[in-house]
Amino acid sequence: MNIVVCVKQVPDTWSERTLRESDSTLDRDAADAVINELDEYAIEEGLRLAEAHGGEVTILSMGPDRATEAIRKALSMGADKAVHLVDDALAGSDLLGTSAALAAVLGQIGFDLVILGSESTDARTGALPAMLAERLGVPQLSYASKVEVDGSAISIHRLADYGYDTVEATLPAVVSVVEKINEPRYPTFKGIMAAKKKPVQTMSLADAGIDPATVGLANAASEVTGWAKRPPRQAGTIVTDEGDGGAKAAGFLAERKFI
């Protein structure tokens, strides 16, 4: 099975994140960069499927030069090779541009299964997997908490408030995963050493046959018109226990859909 896992490098959620004054895009230099956390679950799932069914795991990442760090981590976890789509003209691409660019690369390198994290911690739209599936003309199985492949049949558990739905399709397909799905492995030191020798193919827009007029900030269909700093954190709610503390706490949690 030819599995492609899409990986995005994002600013560490622990570091202070800001938008640039000039063009309202994320200031990626100001923060430490890490693999988008959910993508680690996608990589893990790809590796497990390849281990169980045979095949190869390819990492696909669109991002600046610095994204090689994220790619290296993915290869250290055990992926076989990587494709890095990197081109200055891609900077500031919105979802439409990003999905068009990734679809173009996927069309070129081929795939049986594309796996993504269900959202990234920077933009948090969660719409890319659907757009990608649409552009590729293949089924999408989203918010998977479990994936099973049997020949060309694929089924997932789609996480829902009430439990899960079982969703089935035939390969090739696009799957997006949630963190319940697995526990990502650590990159081992041997994996880190082996990653240095794994092939990373760098592609430009021209290499991938992407029309520059479909990507980049200038061609984005969406625009950031304004933004503000997050307001300071509000003081917590204090629940006074007058014999009904348990019920009050449960009510608090239920209101927020934790229980």
Q: Which residues bind another protein (CB under 8 A)?
A: 16, 68-69, 72-73, 76, 186-193, 196
Minimum CB distance to another protein, residue 29 (Å): 12
- Which residue number, 117 or 187, has a Cβ lying nearer to another protein? 187
Minimum CB distance to another protein, residue 188 (Å): 5
Minimum CB distance to another protein, residue 189 (Å): 3
Number of CB atoms found within 10 A of residue 191's CB: 17
- Cα–Cα dist 248/53, whole Å: 49
Asked if residues 78 and 40 have their Cβ atoms less than 8 Å apart, the reply is no
Asked if residues 29 and 95 have their Cβ atoms less than 8 Å apart, the reply is no
Q: CB neighbours of 114 closer than 8 A, spacing ≥ 6?
A: 3, 4, 5, 6, 106, 132, 136, 138, 172, 173, 174, 175
- Which residue number, 27 or 148, has a Cβ lying nearer to another protein? 27
| Three-class DSSP category at 214 | helix
Backbone angles phi, psi at 138, to 5 degrees: -125, 160
- Which residue number, 61 or 68, has a Cβ lying nearer to another protein? 68
Minimum CB distance to another protein, residue 2 (Å): 26
Q: Count Cβ atoms within 10 A of the Cβ of residue 78 and give its class: 0-12 exposed, 13-18 middle, 19 or more buried.
A: buried
- Which residue number, 40 or 87, has a Cβ lying nearer to another protein? 40
Minimum CB distance to another protein, residue 256 (Å): 25
235 vs 13, 231, 232, 250, CA distance in Å?
22, 12, 9, 20
Using alpha carbons only, what angle is made at residue 10 by residues 5 and 15, rounded to the nearest 5 degrees? 145
- Radius of gyration for the alpha carbons in the chain, expressed in angstroms and rounded: 20
- Which residue number, 124 or 229, has a Cβ lying nearer to another protein? 229
Whether a cis peptide bond, with omega within 30° of 0, leads into 172 is: yes
Minimum CB distance to another protein, residue 74 (Å): 11
- Which residue number, 73 or 157, has a Cβ lying nearer to another protein? 73
- Which residue number, 3 or 71, has a Cβ lying nearer to another protein? 71
Q: CB neighbours of 154 closer than 8 A, spacing ≥ 6?
A: 113, 141, 147, 148, 168, 169, 170, 171, 173, 175
Minimum CB distance to another protein, residue 42 (Å): 18
